[in-house]
Amino acid sequence: MELFLDSANLAEIQEVAPYGVISGVTTNPSLVAKENKDFFAVVAEISALIPGPVSAEVLATDTAGMLDEARQLAQIRENVIIKIPMTKEGIKCLPILSKEGIKTNVTLIFSQNQALLAARAGATYVSPFVGRLDDLGFDGISLVQDIVEMFKFYQLPTKVIAASIRHPLHVVEAAKIGADIATIPYKVFQQMFEHPLTASGVEKFMRDWQERVK
């Protein structure tokens, strides 16, 4: 499973990039709004820093407006992926963008039917939201698993991004059920490094080494 960073914060992305484990970035309007910067400038900075796919979401809600924004965003750099919301207007954009060679990530997926519609319309990626489903008492990871199996069964090329990841166990579960990608907030990425036995183990090795008989 590939790991993407779910962030629009340049400092976070710069810090995480040297580990070499992040192969892409996803943003959304809420994350970009927190940065208080020009949207296109944020996408340009991130896509210059990360060579892999960088998802940027359209803000228009009608097909013509979304297509217009999609084309402008796609011109920033070839690794920019256009995030399209799972609406009827959004789905209509997919065959058109696909014909133009513009890659898409259909966001706000909460059911298998939505994922199937997006895949059939030509989405490059779909993003089922795990945490937001869990919040309502549904099983977000089961949805990701059902979508992964459905795409495999019908040999649909659309990749599945487990999104709305809230804690390290979500990452483990997404990997176990075969998600192509998990997009992870900075905080969860940091938590993935941690284990108390690693910390105490390093400390003991250092202590024993310093106390060796010379």
Phi, psi for 61 (deg, rounded to 5): -115, -10
CB atoms within 10 A of CB 49: 13
Nearer to ligand E4P, 139 or 203 (CB): 139
Positions in the binding site for ligand E4P (CB under 6 A): 6, 26, 28, 107, 127, 129, 131-132, 163-164, 183
Nearer to ligand E4P, 33 or 202 (CB): 33
User: Among 37, 83, 187, 204, which one carries the catalytic annotation?
Assistant: 83
Shortest gap between Cβ of 29 and ligand E4P (angstroms)?
Answer: 9
Nearer to ligand E4P, 71 or 132 (CB): 132
Shortest gap between Cβ of 92 and ligand E4P (angstroms)?
Answer: 21
CA distances from 195 to 1, 131, 176, 199, 203 (A): 21, 23, 20, 7, 13
Nearer to ligand E4P, 107 or 124 (CB): 107
Q: Which three-class secondary structure state does DSSP give residue 148?
A: helix
Strands (E), 58-166: 80-85, 104-109, 125-128, 159-162
37 flagged as catalytic: no
CA distances from 20 to 3, 16, 115 (A): 10, 8, 30
Shortest gap between Cβ of 106 and ligand E4P (angstroms)?
Answer: 10
Are 174 and 141 in contact, with CB atoms under 8 Å apart?
A: yes
Shortest gap between Cβ of 78 and ligand E4P (angstroms)?
Answer: 20
Q: Which residues are catalytic?
A: 83
